[in-house]
Structure 1
Amino acid sequence: MEKQEEKDAIFATSELVLNIKSRMQQMNPAQKKIAKFILENLDEVQGMPIGEMARRSQVSEATVSRFVKFLGCGSYRDFQTEMVKSNALKHEKIRGYSDVQNLDGGYQLCKKIFESNIQSLVDTLSIIDSEALEKTADLIVEKRKLCILAQGRSMVTATSIRQRLYRLGISCSCYSDPHEQAITASLLGEGDLVMGISTFGRSKNLLKNLRLASRNKAAVIGVSSYRGTPLEKISDIMLVASNNEEASFGFEPSCSTVSQMVMLDCLYIMITQRMKEEAQQCFLKSCDAIESERE
C-alpha cells in the first residue's frame, strides 16, 4: 500500500535561510553562487573559514565579505554566528516540487507538493509583519475603497482578495491590463489606496503605474514574496510572504500564490473585525443574493 501514516512535523525555516532566499532576485551572479552553495551545504558551512567558502563557491574572499554584509551581517564572524543559530533549528529538508520524480506514485507526489506549500505557509507565519497588516486593514476600513494592480499569476491573488472585500461593501477594483492600470493610476490622488501584487516585485509595467499613483500622492501597498525589490522601495506599506519554490523546477509551482493568499486572508479577517456587525450584514446580504442564483 502506497499511503502510510506519516506525521512528520514541519518547522519554520531559520531566519538566515529565509533571508538568503528572499533576496535571491536582487543578487548578482557571484552572490548567487555563494547563496546556492550555502543553501545546498548548510551542515558544512557552519565553522567554514572564509577562504574555503570563497574557493568552493568559486568567488573571491572579498566577494564573500560583501555577500554577508548584503545579508545584513556586520562581518563574516557575525554570519557564522547566525549559521550556528540556523543549524540549531535545522530539521529534515522538506521535499517539494523540484524533488518530484517521474516514477513517483500518486500519494508520494501529493505528499511532496503538500509539504512544500505547508512549508511556505509556516515560513510566512514566522516572518509575517502583523503591524503592517493591521495598518493596511485600518486604511482600507477608513477609506472603504481599494484599487488593486497585478499581472500574470499574481491576478489569482488579486481577484481573490477583491472578491472578498467587495462582499463586505468595500469598493474594490482590480486591473491587469497595463493601459487600464495607467489610466487608473493617473486618476488616483491623495487619500486613495492602491495595492500592487507581484511575486518577484519587478514587473516593469506594474512598477511604472504604481510610481505614477505614488506621484499623485496615493498610498501604495506592496505584496511580494521577496525582500529588497523595486516594489518594496516604492511602497508605503510592504506585505511579504515566504516563497518555498525552487527556481530550477521546470513547471510553475503555486507556493508563492498560496502563501500570499493566506496572508491576505489574515488581512481580510482583520478588516471584518474592525467593521464588526456591518461586515456580517454585508456578507449575509451577498450570500442571499448568490443563493438566488443557484438551482
Structure 2
Amino acid sequence: MKATQDIIARVRRWAADGSKAERRLASLVLSDLSYVSKAPIAEIASRAGVSEPTVTRFARALGCEGIRDFKYHLAQALAVGGSYLNPSPLRREEREERILATVCGNAAAAIERVRSSIDMETVGLIADQMSTARSILSYGSGGNSSLMSMELHNRLFRLGLSVIAHSDGQMQRMTASVATPETLVVAFSISGYSPSVVDSVRTARHYGARTVAVTAPGSALAREAEILLPFVVPEDGNLYKPTSARYTMMAIVDLIAMTTAEAIGPSVLEGLRRIKHSLAAVNVNDPKLPLGD
C-alpha cells in the first residue's frame, strides 16, 4: 500500500460492504485502532471471532502486503489523525454559551499574545521597506496563510502601493523569478514549510528582492527570509473549533498596514478619499461605514 492511501477510509468501506467476517474485523479496527495496531494476530482473530487466515486475507484485501504492513499503516494513521477518530460526543447542555466563550475567548487571547510579544521595531522596519518598494508580492498557501496574503493586498493597495497576492504555487514561483531589488516579498506560513512559498522567497532573494516572513521561528521559511516576524500560536486541541491562528495573523497584518500608512504619511488620505467617493454612488453613503464595505 502506498503511504498516501487512506487505510481508515478503506476499512470503513469494508465495514459497510464486506462479508460478515470482514465487517466484524473492520468494526474491531475502527473501535480500537491502537489495540489492533499492536496486538498479535491470534488475539485480533479471537476478539473478532474469525480465523487467523481471515485476518491476513483482510489485510491483503485492503492493499497491504500482510499483517505487519497492515499494522504499520494503522499505526501511521493513528499518529497522523488519531485525535479525529472516535471523538467524545458533544454535550448539549449550555452549548451556545460554551461555543461563544471558547471562540471569542481564544480570539481575544490570540490577539493579546500578539500585543505582548510583537516586536514593533521589526514591524516599523517592514513598514519602511513597504513604503519605498516599487512593487510588493504577498505569498501564502493553504487556508489561513493564503487568506492573510490576500488581506495584506487588501490593506496595502488602498494606500497607493503596488501590491499583488498569490496563493497559487506556480504563480508564486513565476513572479519571484522576475523580482528585482525594488521588489519586496512578504510571505505568510504558519508552519514555515510550504514548499512553493519557501522556494519563491529563495528565488526572489536570488534576484535581489527584499524578503519578509511571518512564520514559525526556526522553520525553513524563517531561514530564507531577511526579516522575520515570529509567529507561534499554541492550539487548544478543540477539534470542533476553527483555529485561532488567523486572529493572530490578522492582527499582525493590521499592525503592518497601519504602521505603513503612518510611514507614508498624509498622502495616503487622498487615495482613501477617492475610494470613498467612488463607492458613494453605488453603496450606502454613510461616512461611518468601513471603507469599501
TM-score range normalised by the length of the shorter chain: 0.5 to 0.7
Aligned to 1:164: 155
Residues 107 and 210 of structure 1: CA distance in aligned 2, closer, same or farther (over 3 Å):
same
Contact 2:187 2:213 in 1 (8 A): yes
Residues 217 and 139 of structure 1: CA distance in aligned 2, closer, same or farther (over 3 Å):
same
In 1, Cα distance between equivalents of 2:272 and 2:114: 28
Q: 1:129 aligns with which of 119, 138, 141?
A: 119
Q: Is 2:280 aligned against 1:291?
A: yes
Superposed displacement of residue 101, structure 1: 4.3
Residues 113 and 217 of structure 1: CA distance in aligned 2, closer, same or farther (over 3 Å):
same
Question: How many pairs align?
Answer: 196
Contact 2:149 2:165 in 1 (8 A): yes
Contact 2:134 2:182 in 1 (8 A): no
Q: 1:183 aligns with which of 174, 181, 185?
A: 174
Contact 2:140 2:166 in 1 (8 A): yes
In 2, Cα distance between equivalents of 1:125 and 1:144: 30
In 2, Cα distance between equivalents of 1:155 and 1:189: 23
Residues 189 and 126 of structure 1: CA distance in aligned 2, closer, same or farther (over 3 Å):
same
Aligned CA-pair RMSD? 2.1
Contact 1:146 1:194 in 2 (8 A): yes
Q: 1:139 aligns with which of 121, 129, 152?
A: 129
In 2, Cα distance between equivalents of 1:252 and 1:262: 19
Residues 126 and 281 of structure 1: CA distance in aligned 2, closer, same or farther (over 3 Å):
same
Aligned to 2:191: 200
Superposed displacement of residue 119, structure 1: 1.2
Q: 1:279 aligns with which of 245, 268, 275?
A: 268
Q: Is 2:204 aligned against 1:213?
A: yes
Contact 1:150 1:197 in 2 (8 A): yes
Aligned to 2:213: 222
Q: In structure 2, list runs of 5 or more residues that go unmatched.
A: 1-86, 285-293
Q: Larger radius of gyration, structure 1 or 2?
A: 2
Superposed displacement of residue 112, structure 1: 1.3
Residues 288 and 157 of structure 1: CA distance in aligned 2, closer, same or farther (over 3 Å):
same
In 1, Cα distance between equivalents of 2:135 and 2:282: 27
In 1, Cα distance between equivalents of 2:136 and 2:106: 32
Partner AA of 2:102 in structure 1: K
Superposed displacement of residue 205, structure 1: 1.5
Superposed displacement of residue 252, structure 1: 6.1
In 2, Cα distance between equivalents of 1:286 and 1:100: 49
Q: 1:261 aligns with which of 227, 250, 256?
A: 250
Q: Any runs of at least 4 consecutive aligned residues in structure 1 with deviations exceeding 3 A, and if so which?
A: 98-102
Mean alpha-carbon deviation: is it higher for 268-277 or for 167-176?
Answer: 268-277
Aligned to 2:83: none
Contact 1:245 1:253 in 2 (8 A): no
Partner AA of 1:169 in structure 2: G
1:277 is paired with a residue of what secondary structure? coil
Q: 2:229 aligns with which of 216, 239, 260?
A: 239
TM-score of the pair, normalised by structure 1 = 0.62
Task: Using the aligned pairs only, state the percent identity.
Answer: 19
In 2, Cα distance between equivalents of 1:161 and 1:189: 20
Superposed displacement of residue 290, structure 1: 2.3
Residues 105 and 251 of structure 1: CA distance in aligned 2, closer, same or farther (over 3 Å):
closer
Superposed displacement of residue 259, structure 1: 0.7
TM-score of the pair, normalised by structure 2 = 0.63
